[in-house]
Structure 1
Amino acid sequence: MGHYVIIGGGGYLGANVIRALQRNGYQERIIVVDPTPMEFPTVQFNRQRVDVKSFLDAHVLQEVLTGAEAVIHLAAVGHMGMVACDRKFVFDFNVAGTKKLVEACKIHGVSRFLYASSVAVAFVGVPLLNASENDPLPNPKLYLDHYSASKAEAEKFVLSQSTPTFKTVALRFRGIYGAEDPNVTRKVADLIRKRLFLARVSIHDRESNSMASSAANCAQAFSLADNMLKKTDGIHAQSYYIMDKEITGQYEFWTPLVHALGRTPPSIFLKNYKIAKAVVYVQQLFCYHVLGFAPILTMFELAILAMDNTYSIEKARRELGYEPEPNSMAEVAAHYRMLATREKSKWNWIIWTISVAVFAMIIISLMSFF
C-alpha cells in the first residue's frame, strides 16, 4: 500500500478528510501539501501519521508523489479575497495547476485522484431545482466569476483523464461550513457580529431555498469515493453532488448562529433584485479596483443567495453509499456561544485585574500620605 497525498489539506476540510480516512481504517502515512497548515481543536486525528510539506519547495511533487497511491486535491483560489478578481492567477492555479498535478500523478503511477469541485460549475445566476449530475454544464461565458469558470474547466479535465489504472472522481460541494471553518462560517459570523446580517434578498416572493455541505459530510464522501475507486470494477470518471440532506431557507439556515451571537435574524426583505444587483455590482467594482480590498458581497454570492438552488444527492447515495449526517449548525452555534463566553470571561478578568490594580494604588497612595 502506498500513502495518500492531500493537496491543500492544511485547512478545515483537509483536517476533516484526514479524520474520516483514519476513522474508516486507513492508518498509513498521509502527506499534506499546504503552505499554511492550521490546527483545529474540534477535529482530532492521529498527527503522528501525518507529514506536512510546503508548496514553496520546487521539488515537492517529485517527493510526495513517489510511492503514493491516492491524491486528494482540495487546493483552489476561491470566490473570496482580492485574488478572486485576477483571472490569470485564478486560471493558472485552478486549471493549469490541476493539469500539472494530474500529469505528475500519472508519471508517478498514482492510481486514484479525487477532486474537490463545486456547485459553482453548474450555477450561472439562474435557479436550480434538484440539479443532477446529468445536466449539461453551462456555456463558459455565462459564469459569474473566474472561480466558477475555472472549476468547471478543471473538473472536465480531471474526469477526462480517468482510466482503469488512473481513476478520477469529482465531488461538488456548496458552502462548506463547520464549527471552526475559517471561510464561509467565519465570514457569516463576522457579518452577524457587525450587525451587517440585516436583510434577506430573493427573486421569489419568499426566502429562497438551498442546501449546504458540512465539512463532516464532505469528508465522509471523500472516504466513500476512495473506497469506490479502489474496487477493480469501481465506477470512475463521475461527478457527485455532496450536500447535507436538509433543504432550508438561505437565511433560516444561519439562525442558530445568529442567536448564538446574541443577534436577531434579518427582518428586512428586499424584493427588488435588480436594485440589489446594481448596488452589489458597483460595490464589487469599487472595492476591487479603487479601494483594493475584497467586497463584502460578490455578484456570485448575491445571486446564489437570492435564488433557489437545490441539488440531488441520489447519485451519491446510489453509487457511493453516501448518507449524510444531519446538518452541523447546532454544533456551529455551540462553538460560537462558547467563544463568546470565553471572550466575556477574558474581559471580566481584565476589568477585575485593572480594578484590583487601581484599588492597590489608591491604598498605597493613602498609606504614604499618612
Structure 2
Amino acid sequence: MATRIRPASKKCAVIGGSGFLGQHMVERLLDKGYSVNVFDIRQGLENERVQFFIGDLCSKTDLLSALQGVNVVFHCASPAPSSNNKELFYKVNYTGTRTVIEACKEAGVQKLVLTSSASVVFEGTDIKNGTEDLPYAQRPIDYYTETKILQEKEVLGSNDPENNFLTVAIRPHGIFGPRDPQLVPIMVETAKSGKMKFMIGNGENLVDFTYVENVVHGHILAAEYLQKDSPLCGKAYHITNDEPIPFWTFISQVLVGLNYEAPKYQIPYWLAYYLALLVSLLVFILSPLVTIKPTFTPMRVALAGTYHYYSCERAKKEMGYKPVVSLEKAIEKTVQSYQHLRRAR
C-alpha cells in the first residue's frame, strides 16, 4: 500500500462546499486540522473557520481567488441529477471542470480530488461487484451521467506528475445521510402521494447505498495518499459502504423508520420497464404542446430493478480504505435526522 502523506500545507479548497456532500466534507476537514476555503454559487453554511468565495465555476477569475495558497482541491460541485437540465449538466460537469483544472494549474495547486460517480460504467443492466476496470458506459443511463463521464476523463487525463499536478477520482454510489435534499425527501414525498406501494422486480437485486461520512473519508484518504509515483495518480476508485443490500430492503427500512408503509406489491421488471418506455414516448410526442416531467422513467426503473454494486478492493489496497460507519448505523442516523418528515401515527 502507498505511504500516507499529509500535505505540507494543510490548506484546501472545497468546490461545491455548500452542497450536501460538500458541507460534510468541510466539517470533517476542519476536524482534521485543515484550513478550508469554500467556493460555491451560494453560502450554504455558517462557519467562522471557513473562508467563503462566491462565484461562477466557469469563471477562472472567480476560482483563482479561492485557490491562492491551496495545496488540495476537492471538486464536488454538481447540479442535482433530478433537475434534468442538460445545459446546466454540461456547463457545470464538463465546461466548469475544465476551468477548474486550468485554475488549479495556474494557482499552483498540487492535488485535485474529483467526486465522480460509479454510474459512469452503468448502462441499466446488472453489475455485480464491479471493478474500476469496467469500461465507461457506451449508453449512459442519462445525460447527467454522460457529462460525468466527460468530467472524469478530463480530470484523470490532466494528471501530470512531471509538473507536480496530481489527480484522482472518487466514485461513490447511492450517497445518503443527514441533510441530503434528494434521496429521503423524494422518497417520503413519493410515499405521501401513494406511489410507494409497488416494488419493481422480485426485491432481491443488490445495490450499494453509501453513507456520506464514508464518502468523505474516501476523499480525504485519496488526498493524503495522492503523491508522485503513488498508484493513485490518474486513477478512479469506488467508495461504498461495502455492504450491498437489496434495493427495496433499504427503501423499506427508511420508510418504516419514518412511519410510512413499505412497498408490498411487486411489478415484474420487464413490465415496469416497458411501461416507463411508453410513458417516455408519450411525453416526447406531447412535448411540443405541454411540458411534463415524468417521475416514472426507464432510468429510474433500471436503478430500482437491477443489481448495481461495486468492489472497493482497489481503495482498500491502495489507500487503506474501510467504511467508518456501518450501513445499519448509517440508516439509523439518517432516519433520526429526518424526524421532521416522520408521519404522525
The normalised TM-score by structure 2 is 0.87
Partner residue, 2:261: 264
Deviates more, 1:114-123 or 1:228-237: 228-237
Distance verdict in 2 for CA 1:261–1:235, change over 3 Å? closer
Residue 13 of structure 2: SS of its match in structure 1?
A: strand
Gaps of 5+ in 2: 1-8
Given the alignment, which residue of 17, 31, 37 partners 2:43?
37
Q: Aligned equivalents of 2:167 and 2:82: distance in 1? A: 27
Given the alignment, which residue of 16, 30, 33 partners 1:8?
16
Partner residue, 2:340: 339
Given the alignment, which residue of 152, 155, 160 partners 2:157?
160
Partner residue, 2:74: 72
Contact 2:10 2:33 in 1 (8 A): no
**How far apart are residue 78 of structure 1 and its match?**
4.0
Q: Aligned equivalents of 1:47 and 1:292: distance in 2? A: 41
Cα deviation 1:221-277 (Å, max 9, x = unaligned):
111111112577463111111101211110101223211222221111111x33322
Contact 2:166 2:228 in 1 (8 A): no
Q: Aligned equivalents of 1:258 and 1:225: distance in 2? A: 34
**How far apart are residue 181 of structure 1 and its match?**
0.7
Distance verdict in 2 for CA 1:104–1:224, change over 3 Å? same
Distance verdict in 2 for CA 1:75–1:216, change over 3 Å? same
Distance verdict in 2 for CA 1:275–1:195, change over 3 Å? same
Q: Are 2:237 and 1:240 equivalent residues in the alignment?
A: yes
**How far apart are residue 25 of structure 1 and its match?**
3.1
Aligned length: 327
Residue 71 of structure 2: SS of its match in structure 1?
A: strand
**How far apart are residue 146 of structure 1 and its match?**
0.7
Contact 1:179 1:185 in 2 (8 A): no
Residue 48 of structure 1: SS of its match in structure 2?
A: coil
Partner residue, 2:6: none
Cα deviation 1:160-179 (Å, max 9, x = unaligned):
11122111110111121112
Percent identity (aligned): 25
Equivalent residue letter for 1:332: T
Distance verdict in 2 for CA 1:296–1:233, change over 3 Å? closer
Q: Are 2:211 and 1:214 equivalent residues in the alignment?
A: yes
Distance verdict in 2 for CA 1:48–1:234, change over 3 Å? farther
Distance verdict in 2 for CA 1:3–1:293, change over 3 Å? farther
Q: Aligned equivalents of 2:79 and 2:224: distance in 1? A: 28
Distance verdict in 2 for CA 1:286–1:5, change over 3 Å? farther
Q: Aligned equivalents of 1:255 and 1:233: distance in 2? A: 42
Higher helix share: 1
Contact 2:168 2:233 in 1 (8 A): yes
Equivalent residue letter for 1:144: I
Equivalent residue letter for 1:34: D
Q: Aligned equivalents of 1:34 and 1:285: distance in 2? A: 37
Distance verdict in 2 for CA 1:183–1:340, change over 3 Å? closer
Contact 1:2 1:67 in 2 (8 A): no
Equivalent residue letter for 2:43: P
Contact 1:77 1:90 in 2 (8 A): yes
Partner residue, 1:48: 48
Distance verdict in 2 for CA 1:138–1:210, change over 3 Å? same
Deviates more, 1:88-97 or 1:292-301: 292-301
Q: Are 2:33 and 1:25 equivalent residues in the alignment?
A: yes
**How far apart are residue 3 of structure 1 and its match?**
2.6
Q: Aligned equivalents of 1:206 and 1:262: distance in 2? A: 21
Gaps of 5+ in 1: 40-45, 345-370
Equivalent residue letter for 2:21: L
Q: Aligned equivalents of 1:134 and 1:232: distance in 2? A: 20
Q: Aligned equivalents of 2:102 and 2:167: distance in 1? A: 13
Given the alignment, which residue of 49, 61, 64 partners 1:62?
64
Pair member with larger Rg: 1
The normalised TM-score by structure 1 is 0.81
Q: Aligned equivalents of 1:296 and 1:69: distance in 2? A: 42
Q: Aligned equivalents of 1:244 and 1:152: distance in 2? A: 22
Residue 43 of structure 2: SS of its match in structure 1?
A: coil
Q: Are 2:94 and 1:95 equivalent residues in the alignment?
A: yes
Q: Are 2:151 and 1:151 equivalent residues in the alignment?
A: no
**How far apart are residue 62 of structure 1 and its match?**
2.2
Equivalent residue letter for 1:143: P
Distance verdict in 2 for CA 1:149–1:12, change over 3 Å? same
Contact 1:173 1:243 in 2 (8 A): yes
Cα deviation 1:46-103 (Å, max 9, x = unaligned):
92221222224953212112222111111123420141xx2x4422321121111101
Partner residue, 1:176: 175
Cα deviation 1:137-184 (Å, max 9, x = unaligned):
232xx1121111111111111111112211111011112111221112
Partner residue, 2:270: 274
Contact 2:19 2:77 in 1 (8 A): no
Contact 1:81 1:294 in 2 (8 A): no
Q: Aligned equivalents of 2:334 and 2:33: distance in 1? A: 27
Partner residue, 1:107: 106
Distance verdict in 2 for CA 1:256–1:196, change over 3 Å? same
Contact 2:203 2:246 in 1 (8 A): no
